[in-house]
């Protein structure tokens, strides 16, 4: 596999950083595409990763980043619009540069009839990549374990988990597990070309159960507050999230209530050879992010 070289977009994010870690373990050279240079990108450089800076909305930067790579991971931030243009740029550049495989991060709610602009755009992005001529594998994960990070401030400061999921259940999947999936596919992409993999964590949970896990780990009672969707969208606005993200999250909540994100399978273990991370383990690993900082003695 010495002739392989992989481009990872979103290289400092939950899935990209994990994919890079796994690829380095596999001794596969990695080029990281980052939006800005910071401490995280410097850490990648220190690990022997080639770091290039650019924006997925810049066709020339994307084309240059894809030069000389055999496979690539494509992920676009869910908080902002622009997915379809970025996908078209990425697909065209990959075709011109002779890239042999793309792993595309989509989502479980991606479908033609989706009312979320982001979810429908993901479905259209899949179709664009399918027609690109570059072999592609689509990943459709349910909601990430990282989802509760949006509410980390409320957990820390108010001891509440405010979400509009009612009593719906889904099996949270951790970004680090998805990163291992990405690396495993890009190591041997041919057998996955043209496939769409639905990905789940090990166990379906309600937000009441997740709040109980937070309570157990933090030692403070964390209460799940089931909100109405419109009230939750107002909360997201107050927290500074973009209108695009607010619109998406409103329909994520409705899709969750309708069971779109429900279910589980053993695909993570099949693809990586490892059991996916339990939600409790994820909370324990990230415990500090849910705790209020302790005031230092003067």
pLDDT tens, residue by residue, 157-212: 999 999 999 999 999 999 999 999 999 999 999 999 999 999 999 999 999 999 99
State residue 2's pLDDT score. 54
Rg of the chain over CA atoms, in angstroms? Answer: 19
State residue 298's pLDDT score. 39
Q: The tokens of 95 are what?
A: 């075709």
Angle in degrees, 0-180, between the axes of helices 175-187 and 14-25, rounded to the nearest 10:
50
User: CB of 18 within 8 A of CB of 178?
Assistant: yes
In residues, how long is the chain? 298
Residues 6+ apart with CB under 8 A from 296: none
Q: What architecture is domain 6-142+173-200+266-272?
A: 3-Layer(aba) Sandwich (3.40)
Which residues of the chain fall below pLDDT 50? 1, 296-298
Between CA 61 and CA 173 the distance in angstroms is 31
State residue 56's pLDDT score. 98
State residue 213's pLDDT score. 98
**Every domain of the chain and the residues it spans:** 6-142+173-200+266-272
DSSP 199: E
State residue 292's pLDDT score. 79
Which segments of the chain does DSSP mark as H helices, in order? 14-25, 39-46, 59-65, 83-96, 117-130, 152-158, 175-187, 207-218, 229-238, 243-257, 267-272, 279-285
């Amino acid at each position: 596999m010495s002739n392989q070289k992989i481009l990872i977009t979103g290289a400092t994010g939950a899935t990209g950083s994990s994919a890079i870690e796994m690829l380095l373990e596999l001794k596969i050279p990695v080029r990281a595409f980052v939006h800005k240079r910071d401490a995280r990108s410097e850490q990648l450089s220190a690990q022997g990763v080639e770091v290039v800076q650019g924006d997925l909305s810049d066709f020339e930067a994307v084309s240059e980043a894809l030069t000389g790579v055999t496979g690539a991971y494509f992920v676009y931030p869910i908080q902002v619009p622009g997915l379809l243009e970025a996908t078209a740029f990425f697909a065209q550049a990959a075709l011109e540069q002779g890239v042999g495989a793309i792993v595309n991060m989509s989502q479980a709610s991606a479908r033609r009839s989706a009312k979320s602009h982001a979810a429908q755009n993901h479905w259209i992005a899949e179709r664009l990549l399918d027609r690109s001529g570059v072999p592609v594998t689509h990943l459709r994960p349910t909601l990430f374990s990282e989802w509760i990070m949006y509410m980390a401030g409320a957990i820390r400061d108010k001891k509440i988990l405010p979400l509009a999921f009612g009593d719906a259940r889904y099996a949270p999947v951790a970004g680090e597990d998805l990163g291992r999936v990405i690396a495993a596919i890009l190591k041997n992409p041919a057998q996955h070309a043209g496939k769409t993999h639905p990905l789940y964590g090990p166990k379906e949970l309600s937000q009441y159960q997740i709040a109980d896990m937070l309570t157990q780990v933090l030692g403070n009672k964390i209460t799940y507050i089931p909100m109405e969707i419109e009230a939750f969208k107002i909360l997201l606005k107050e927290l500074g999230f973009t209108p695009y993200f607010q619109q998406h999250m409103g329909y994520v909540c409705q899709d969750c209530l309708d069971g779109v994100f429900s279910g589980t399978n053993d695909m993570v273990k099949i693809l990586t050879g490892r059991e996916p991370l339990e939600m409790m383990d994820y909370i324990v690993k990230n415990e500090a992010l849910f705790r209020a900082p302790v005031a230092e003695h003067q």
